[in-house]
Amino acid sequence: MSQPLFEQTIIKLPAHPRGVHLVSQEVLKQLPDLSACQVGLLHLFMQHTSASLALNENADPSVRVDLENHLNRMVPENAPYLHADEGPDDMPAHIKSVLIGESLLLPVREGRMALGTWQGIYLCEHRDHAGPRQLVATLQGR
């Protein structure tokens, strides 16, 4: 039986404009060597409260546009929020982050993320002028 594998790394994503962005390849480029893991779990954690992570359709870009448009209708900027010190997009960004979530737990199989054919990792950027984002990636397995 192989030794347990535990690795953790910080993944830095460059600033993205507001919207839903496919970042699977950006994440993969910065991950610890997945090929050493035959079976395991990859946990990705967003270290920010105004962006989120999601797993969804990776082929048709209109899915990302529709998601962003629907989120903006669900959580409008012009609602009467008490927390408004950081601009009109700040509190809606926090709400969207809570709705979508800040982490993903992904299976690893035979040295690769075991995603479905049409699945990809999304950075959901909820601020108009956000900076770079940081993820903690923890890989555990054998």
**Any idea where the domains of the chain sit in the sequence?**
5-141
Burial class (CB in 10 A: 0-12, 13-18, 19+), 31: middle
Q: What is the pLDDT of residues 98-123, one digit of tens each?
A: 999 999 999 999 999 999 999 999 99
Q: What is the pLDDT of residues 25-71, one digit of tens each?
A: 999 999 978 999 999 999 999 999 999 999 999 999 999 999 999 99
Domain 5-141 has CATH 2.60.120.460: yes
- Write down the number of H helices and E strands in the chain: 3, 8
